[in-house]
């Protein structure tokens, strides 16, 4: 589903499910605006009736009572537009938020790694709020204003073509100049929105790491760093406001010219007996109404341009093309045994060659350990298997199916991943464990926690399994977070398991207990374990040593230890308390 990047087109897209309410609201606005503008005609006729040589009270009462009646009917229609518009715009917000979050959630891991989460949430809010408010302004301000100009031009022309010509030419100049100025203002609005979004993202990043700022006694430096972005936001905002003030000045001059021409023209026509007093009163009413509406039109345009800029900036960022997508005819992965085949893959990341003609066969049910120094390509290997990235050439196959030809959901649904840096939702422990299997019963959640050696510490928490863990799980220790992640993997119960330093945050006693549980979890599954800690590698069937994106050694732990000059043997000899130390 293609989502438009332009705010007005995006608003139409989000309004489609609510077309009925939109139609009612628009019809009400069109009719109400017409009735409102028709009141000047009633005022003209009432004035002419009152100043006629012969008073006809029936006619006077007709126009006199018709004027408030018309006003009352128009007010009812405005309220109809309000009630229907309320349904329309709240529906628009719902559809817009849903569509943007759905699209955003399908971006690649690399997309999110390069952006602040807080800034992205801000951009969604800007896109939705900006679009909704633009539509509100259009419905209840700009459309009535434009329709009013049309009706007033017609009424003026009926009274005298010269008055109609003045209003028509002025309207074209006024509307044209404001459209031109609004387009210019959009550039400033976009810059201001971008600078504000960047500032908020930097503040969120700084506050997220405030402990680090304090521990390194760098508060002054951090203030100066944030101050730089505050200054950029100030400069962009000042430029935006400066231009909008000039729009007010220009519009003030145009309104003065309009008032002078219309009132002067109507009085001159009356002086020459070409129009009635009622026409002059009608012109005065029109001038008063339009002057009031257009006096602060520059302010409205400034606000609309700001909203447009914010919405555009948000939509541009969120609706970037997805890098990792399902193939047009992607099918669900048909899992048979869990065999993984890496066939001559090439992969570059940020102009760095990570893998070149890399191949690896992992038979179904085999447990392999990936070992290598930092930057060797271990984590990239896992990211490629999970399709966070796509290879430039070659294939990755599971049970003889190219993973680029199956759906991302079906691929990732058969893989349980326990990362080194465990991230939890700011939800209850029960919800965090159950995330891998939403239909799991409470009993299964507790069983998974027990297998992960997490049940005991969970029970000691104030609300047990209903304890909120804080943002990213900050209320739990690193080891506790990792046990929750392992419990989540137990509950998922899938055929392929990836462990990325899964016990790195545990103390020796807890690690020993979890190793027993991991052995149960790994049984009968295809396992890929990334580790520097030897205790994680002891039970592996096979170790693959990666160096510079290539397989340097491949064999069982015992076989590799017999190679006196081997890379793994040297790592083993340099181990300290169960860790492999990089050379």
The answer to whether residue 437 sits within a structural domain is yes
Query: Do residues 466 and 424 both lie within one domain?
Result: yes
Q: Which residue has the tokens 């430039």?
A: 392
Query: Do residues 280 and 413 both lie within one domain?
Result: no
pLDDT of residue 461: 87
The answer to whether residue 330 sits within a structural domain is no
Cβ–Cβ under 8 Å, residues 83 and 278: no
pLDDT of residue 510: 65
Q: Which residues of the chain have pLDDT under 70?
A: 1, 215, 296, 298, 502-511, 513, 532-536, 575-583
Query: Do residues 162 and 45 both lie within one domain?
Result: yes
Query: Do residues 420 and 527 both lie within one domain?
Result: yes
Query: Do residues 248 and 344 both lie within one domain?
Result: no
The answer to whether residue 583 sits within a structural domain is no
pLDDT of residue 405: 92
The answer to whether residue 126 sits within a structural domain is yes
The answer to whether residue 52 sits within a structural domain is yes
Query: Do residues 73 and 114 both lie within one domain?
Result: yes
pLDDT of residue 133: 92
Provide φ and ψ at 337, rounded to 5°. -130, -30
Query: Do residues 161 and 194 both lie within one domain?
Result: yes
Rg, Å, the chain Cα set:
35
The answer to whether residue 550 sits within a structural domain is yes
Cα separation, 169 vs 177, whole angstroms: 12
Query: Do residues 277 and 369 both lie within one domain?
Result: no
Looking at 287, 318, 349, the residue that finishes a domain is: 318
Looking at 288, 318, 348, the residue that finishes a domain is: 318
pLDDT tens digits for range 361-374: 999 989 998 888 77
Any idea of the CA torsion for 356, 361, 364, 366, to the nearest 10 degrees?
Answer: -90
Letter string b/e over residues 318-355, b meaning 16 or more CB atoms within 10 A of that residue's CB: bbeeeebebeeebeebebeebbbbbbebebeeeeeebb
Query: Do residues 239 and 108 both lie within one domain?
Result: yes
pLDDT of residue 454: 86
Q: Which residue has the tokens 């939890």?
A: 424
Query: Do residues 544 and 422 both lie within one domain?
Result: yes
DSSP label at 581?
P
Instruction: Tally the domains of the chain.
Output: 2
Domain of 557 in residue numbering reads as 340-573
pLDDT tens digits for range 444-493: 999 988 888 888 889 988 889 998 888 777 788 877 888 888 888 888 88
CATH number at residue 262: 1.20.1560.10
pLDDT of residue 513: 66
CATH number at residue 469: 3.40.50.300
């Amino acid at each position: 589903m293609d989502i438009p990047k332009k705010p007005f087109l995006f608003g139409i897209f989000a309004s489609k499910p609510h077309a009925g309410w939109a139609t009612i609201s628009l019809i009400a606005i069109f009719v109400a605006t017409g009735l409102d503008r028709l009141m000047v005609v009633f005022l003209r006729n009432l004035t002419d009736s009152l100043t006629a040589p012969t008073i006809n009270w029936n006619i006077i009462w007709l126009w006199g009572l018709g004027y408030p009646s018309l006003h009352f009917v128009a007010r009812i229609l405005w309220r109809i537009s309000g009630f229907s518009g309320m349904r329309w715009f709240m529906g628009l917000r719902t559809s817009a938020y849903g569509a943007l979050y759905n699209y955003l959630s399908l971006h690649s891991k690399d997309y999110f790694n390069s952006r602040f989460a807080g800034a992205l949430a801000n951009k969604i809010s800007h896109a939705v709020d900006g679009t909704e408010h633009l539509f509100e302004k259009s419905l209840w301000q700009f459309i009535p204003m434009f329709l009013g100009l049309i009706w007033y031009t017609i009424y003026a022309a009926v009274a005298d073509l010269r008055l109609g010509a003045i209003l028509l030419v002025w309207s074209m100049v006024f509307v044209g100049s404001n459209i031109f100025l609004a387009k210019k203002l959009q550039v400033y609005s976009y810059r201001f929105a971008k600078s504000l979004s960047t500032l908020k993202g930097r503040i969120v990043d700084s506050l997220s790491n405030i402990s680090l700022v304090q521990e390194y006694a760098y508060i002054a430096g951090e203030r100066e760093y944030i101050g730089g972005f505050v200054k950029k936001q100030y400069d962009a905002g000042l430029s935006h406001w400066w231009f909008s003030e000039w729009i007010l000045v220009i519009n003030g001059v145009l309104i003065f010219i309009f008032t002078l021409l219309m009132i002067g023209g109507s009085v001159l026509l009356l002086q020459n007996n070409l129009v009635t007093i009622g026409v002059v009163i009608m012109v005065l009413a029109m001038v008063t109404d339009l002057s009031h509406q257009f006096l602060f039109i520059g302010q409205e345009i400034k606000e609309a341009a700001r909203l447009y800029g914010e919405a555009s900036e948000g939509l541009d960022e969120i609706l970037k093309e997805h890098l990792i997508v399902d193939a047009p005819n992607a099918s669900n992965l048909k899992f048979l045994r869990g065999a993984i085949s890496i066939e001559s893959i090439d992969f570059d990341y940020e102009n760095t060659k990570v893998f070149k003609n890399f191949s690896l066969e992992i038979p179904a049910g085999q447990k392999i350990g990936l070992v290598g120094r930092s930057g060797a390509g271990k984590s990239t290997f896992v990211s490629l298997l999970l399709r966070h990235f796509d290879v430039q050439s070659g294939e990755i196959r599971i049970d003889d199916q190219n993973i680029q030809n199956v759906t991302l959901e079906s691929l990732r649904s058969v893989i349980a991943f326990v990362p080194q840096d465990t991230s939890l939702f700011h939800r209850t422990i029960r919800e965090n464990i159950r995330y891998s299997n939403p239909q799991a019963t409470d009993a299964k959640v507790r069983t998974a926690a027990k297998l992960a050696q997490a049940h005991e510490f969970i029970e000691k928490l104030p609300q047990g399994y209903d304890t909120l863990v804080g943002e990213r799980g900050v209320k739990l220790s690193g080891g506790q977070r990792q046990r929750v992640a392992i419990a989540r993997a137990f509950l998922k119960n899938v055929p392929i398991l990836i462990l990325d330093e899964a016990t790195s945050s545990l103390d020796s006693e807890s690690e020993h207990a979890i190793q027993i549980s991991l052995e149960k979890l790994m049984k009968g599954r295809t396992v890929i374990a990334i580790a520097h800690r030897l205790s994680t590698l002891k039970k592996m069937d096979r170790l693959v040593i990666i160096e510079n994106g290539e397989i340097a050694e491949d064999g069982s732990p015992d076989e590799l230890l017999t190679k006196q000059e081997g890379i793994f043997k040297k790592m083993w000899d340099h181990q300290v308390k169960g860790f492999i130390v990089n050379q």
